[in-house]
């Protein structure tokens, strides 16, 4: 009887051990030296992206599908990166859409403008035209573009990008502790799988 119990215990433990060994720190993800604390009760998963990045554009459907499958205990927060001056206008586009409450509309529209329509929205004038096409008045655009909220969110995004040691996009940060990118995970789908693994670890604590 005891031998049977031991055999069953081994059978049950083997899958758990396999899962635990599936992803390793330093190989599939990085552990931040200094964790970034959050005031949220939920597990925060950040996606770092840029509208001009073709890999980010291709990643959108999988990311949206992943986000819809999460419980209230997991919250996706997207962060537009500013690796250079040409990236800043696109980051502003994200935060303006967020501020005006139309991000769900403008997020996909911006990706479409850049990657399907092949537009380069690198100036305030071009950005204003884009938002006018989304039904935003010139006054509302100007207020959002010149707002303290926009500048503050840009600073916060840049700070988080540096602290999370983001050097390529798309990349993801799990609960301010673990950074995952496509190079480490092997593919966009692999990145989400690693994120799921790390989220499960955080939920188990």
- Residue 83 burial (C-beta neighbours within 10 Å; 0-12, 13-18, 19+): middle
User: For residue 22, what pLDDT is reported?
Assistant: 83
16 within domain boundaries? no
3 within domain boundaries? no
111 within domain boundaries? yes
1 within domain boundaries? no
Give me the CATH number covering residue 122: 3.40.30.10
15 within domain boundaries? no
Domain count for the chain: 1
20 within domain boundaries? no
pLDDT in tens, 82-107: 999 999 999 999 999 999 999 999 99
User: For residue 205, what pLDDT is reported?
Assistant: 84
The yes-or-no verdict on residue 189 having pLDDT over 70 is yes
User: For residue 4, what pLDDT is reported?
Assistant: 41
Q: Count the Cβ atoms, other than its own, within 10 Å of residue 169.
A: 23
The yes-or-no verdict on residue 168 having pLDDT over 60 is yes
113 within domain boundaries? yes
pLDDT in tens, 128-146: 999 999 999 999 999 999 9
The yes-or-no verdict on residue 6 having pLDDT over 80 is no
**Average pLDDT over the chain, rounded to whole?**
91
134 within domain boundaries? yes
pLDDT in tens, 50-81: 999 999 999 999 999 999 999 999 999 999 99
Domain encompassing residue 91: 25-203
Which ranges of the chain does DSSP label H, i.e. alpha helix?
Answer: 2-20, 54-68, 85-99, 103-115, 124-133, 138-145, 148-163, 182-185, 188-203
Q: Count the Cβ atoms, other than its own, within 10 Å of residue 184.
A: 17
Whole-angstrom Cα distance, residue 20 to residue 12? 13
Whole-angstrom Cα distance, residue 142 to residue 144? 5
Q: Are 203 and 43 in contact (CB under 8 A)?
A: yes
């Amino acid at each position: 009887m005891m031998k049977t119990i031991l055999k069953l215990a081994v059978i049950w433990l083997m899958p758990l051990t396999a899962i635990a060994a599936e992803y390793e720190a330093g190989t599939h993800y990085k552990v931040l030296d200094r964790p970034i604390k959050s005031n949220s009760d939920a597990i925060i998963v950040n996606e770092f992206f840029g509208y001009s990045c073709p890999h980010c554009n291709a990643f959108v459907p999988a990311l949206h599908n992943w986000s819809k499958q999460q419980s209230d205990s997991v919250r996706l927060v997207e962060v537009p990166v500013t690796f250079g001056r040409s990236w800043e206008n696109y980051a502003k586009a994200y935060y303006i859409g967020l501020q005006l409450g139309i991000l769900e509309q403008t997020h996909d529209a911006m990706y479409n403008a850049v990657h399907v329509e092949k537009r380069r929205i690198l100036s305030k004038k071009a950005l204003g035209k884009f938002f006018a096409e989304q039904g935003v008045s010139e006054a509302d655009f100007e207020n959002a573009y010149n707002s303290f909220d926009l500048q503050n969110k840009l600073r916060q995004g840049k700070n988080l990008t540096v602290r999370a040691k983001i050097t390529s996009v798309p990349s993801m940060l799990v609960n301010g502790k673990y950074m995952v990118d496509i190079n480490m995970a092997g593919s966009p789908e692999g990145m989400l799988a690693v994120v799921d693994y790390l989220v499960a670890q955080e939920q188990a604590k």
